[in-house]
Amino acid sequence: MPRNRRPQDREEKRAEIVVAATALFTESGYDETPMSKVAAAAGVTTNTIYWYFTDKDSLLVAVLDHVLGSALGEAALESDRPWVDQVLWAVDRLTHYRRLVTVVHARTATSPPIDTWHNNFHALVDTLLIDGFRRAGVPEPDLGPMAAIGVFVVEGLLMHPHAEPDRRAIVQALMPPRT
């Protein structure tokens, strides 16, 4: 019997599933998106998804890795901008993925893979914030606490939207006074 479709690389098919899930989880929500809908959007059967991902949470982790990888690539292009502008760029970028942020926080208590991803993400963000605060002149003993405050500010801005001038003022308040 002749094949109706061209053979497809495993990683290519996996990537198509992740792209479809990213769009659906972002637009409709994680809990509101059944695997059958992801399968239909990716042009595969539901069972096919389970060849690539052990469960829906592992698919979510792949989506999060995809979004993070893309954002880090874009962030590299922003590295010449002032630190406050870089943080505001990150907030604006993450705002599009607000639903993913919410579901990650909701699922960390019940999903070990999501909890691991979340902890690794926070370690990365802490490193980036500490580097930014260090370059801004924050004293070494204050870097850890300032990074924690920075995370609270970014997450707060994601969950409680503010107009751009207010976001800028809030992030600017994190910076040490210029002497």
How many whole angstroms separate alpha carbon 179 and alpha carbon 168? 20
pLDDT of residue 8: 66
Q: Which residues of the chain have pLDDT under 70?
A: 1-8, 178-179
* Nearest in space to 88 (alpha carbons), one of 170, 159, 149: 170
Q: List % helix, strand, coil for the chain (3-state, nearest 5).
A: 75, 0, 25
pLDDT of residue 136: 85
Domains along the chain with CATH numbers: 10-172 (1.10.357.10)
Distances (CA, A) of 1 to 4, 8, 73: 9, 18, 44
Q: How many CB atoms lie within 10 A of CB 24?
A: 20
Both tokens of residue 172? 């600017």
pLDDT of residue 93: 87
Phi-psi group of 116: left, alpha or beta (phi > 0 → left; psi -120 to 50 → alpha; rest → beta): alpha
